[in-house]
Amino acid sequence: MSNQETLLKLLQEKSSMKQDVYLKTQTVFDELRNHLKKECEGLKTALSTLDKRVRIEFKDIGLQSMYIKVAGDVLDFQMHTNVFTFEPSHPIHKHSYLRSNPYNGYCGIISIYNFLADSYKFNRLNDMGYLIARVFINREGRFWIESKIKSIQKYSSFSEATIESADLQNIIYELVVFAIEFDLYTPPFDQMAQVTVAELQEKASATALRTGKRLGFMGSSGSDFNIEDVSSL
């Protein structure tokens, strides 16, 4: 086989496969968008007779970006435009599904972040958010989810079937419940003991004082708080 033939074969197989992964991930993201819109409308209708102060909002940012506001929380959904595989030592490679065809391990990624709603409302660009889940989707529509949320860990290995509406509805429910129960802690006193005049006098001083649900609390690694530390919620 000539060099050109080898290159053409690689382009036909691998590059075409990545296009399939991207298109499948975009399809799932669009389906997720429709479910989020529907869930938000349903919640708004139900809350209108319970407590009108509780705000529910869906915001479409673009083809690969959207978020929902649920009371004091934002769940931000981001679809990566690239296709990824996993390092050779990753446990996912032990799955028979990948051993039968390594191309099954190439995935698109939908990442879900949790922020405070006020961080968006007041444009507090320094506020901290937390990655709470990543959904991996391959060219066949089979998926698995990486998350520290225990109720979602049932999806921690490749599904036997393609992702369905019921899966998306359940994932949305578990993410929203987690965000609501993931409370804002008062930062440690010493961590907030010093502040500059500029930070207080800026009109949007709220944008200058960084806020996050666990800001100032240290994770087990000694770094800033990690979502893993609330996996028991």
pLDDT at 191: 73
Q: What is the mean pLDDT of each run of 10 residues along the chain (233 residues)?
A: 83 90 97 96 91 92 95 95 94 92 95 93 85 96 94 92 94 94 81 72 54 48 44 41
Q: β-strands 108-116, 73-79: how paired?
A: antiparallel
What's the half-sphere exposure (Cβ side, CA atoms, 13 Å) at 208? 11
- Distance of alpha carbon 121 from alpha carbon 125, whole angstroms: 10
For 103-112, the pLDDT digits (tens) are 999 999 999 9
CA angle centred on 122, ends 184 and 44, rounded to 5° = 70
> What burial letters (b/e) apply to 140-156, b meaning 16+ CB within 10 Å?
bbbbbbbbbbeebeebe
Q: Which amino acid is at 154?
A: K
pLDDT at 182: 84
pLDDT at 134: 96
Residue 77 near residue 67 (C-beta atoms within 8 A): yes
